[in-house]
Amino acid sequence: METRVKRFIKKYVEKAGAKGIVVGLSGGIDSCTTAALSALAIGGDKVLGLTLPEQETYNMRDMEHVKLISEKFGFKIETIDITPALEEIYNSIPIFDPADKLCKGNIKARLRIIYIYYYANKLNMLVCGSSDKSETMIGYFTKWGDIAADISPIMDLFKTQVRKLADYIGIPKEIVTKPASPMLWPGQLAEEELGIKYETLDLILYGLEHFMKTEEIAEQLGLKKELVDRIKNRWLYTEHKRQGLLTLKVGYRTVGKDFRLFRDPC
């Protein structure tokens, strides 16, 4: 798997004629693994890890993990505190509601991607996303936020598979075993918020991927059907976050519908 992911990254940097890769680096397992694989694929000197902390969710341990991983895999990091920019955005929105943590948190994810794409544009680099299959399938990400990328090399790997791959390529144990967090508000932990462990979630998603009915999945895993149905509904109802733009078909061929063109330039 390591070889296939590395080949994918290398090929697409070449195809795009890019000088390297920018990865948003939170210190979590997905972004650390993606940055490390990028460095292994094209060389650390061509990889920039962009760390974008903000006051509310600032975590010293994550910063140490970012440093640790960049030193181990030999890529550069740059850290920008996005707190002042966030404050400006909050203050400029007439209907801003600080108590609505989801809307507020989504601003953070979308602001981070603005910085990431600025660097990519300016330095002629590709944005390498680090979304995994578990979170992507259930829509556990910010639309037009952290999911945004030019390539997403680990998006077809469930979280539990990413953990194995991370361990295999030598990501330090404390990063691999650290509880995942989207870092949208203080104390946010993925498994707590989702109400399910990734080990269980991934098995449910694997069953859904293989056209199994929720009854069968619940029976085989010894789970309540309601839980499996809840996950299935999250998967189905978040498809709008994963696909391109929804438009009304009026023309002969329609963007995002039946223009069937390849997306890489060569």
Partner 1 sequence: MKEKINIALAQISCKRGDKEANLKKIEAKVVKAREQGAELVVFPELSLTGYVLRDQLYEVAENIPGPSVNTLEKLAKQNKVYIIVGMPELSEKTKATIYNTAVLIGPKGYIGKYRKMYLPTHSVFEEKRYFRPGYQAAAFDTEIGKLGIIICYDVFFPEVSRLTRLKGAQLIVCISASPGARRAFFETLTAARAIENTVFLAYVNLVGIEDGLQFWGGSRLIGPNGKVLVKAKYDEEDLVIGEVDYSTIKPIEAFVPTLKDLRPELFDKLKEHAEKL
Give the footprint of partner 1 on this chain (CB under 8 A).
Answer: 211, 213, 236, 246-254, 257-258
CB of 252 to partner 1, least distance (A): 7
Residue closer to partner 1 by CB (options 60, 261) is 261
CB of 212 to partner 1, least distance (A): 10
Neighbours of 213 (CB within 10 A): 13
Identify whether the C-beta of residue 28 lies closer than 8 Å to the C-beta of residue 35: no
Alpha carbon 127 to its chain's center: 12
CB of 243 to partner 1, least distance (A): 9
Task: Decide: helix, strand or coil at residue 8.
Answer: helix
Residue closer to partner 1 by CB (options 248, 266) is 248
Q: Is 226 exposed, middle or buried (CB count within 10 Å of its CB: 0-12, 13-18, 19+)? A: exposed
Residue closer to partner 1 by CB (options 124, 254) is 254
Instruction: Tell me the C-alpha distance between 184 and 53, whole Å.
Output: 11
Residue closer to partner 1 by CB (options 252, 262) is 252
Counting every residue written for the chain, the total comes to 266
CB of 153 to partner 1, least distance (A): 24
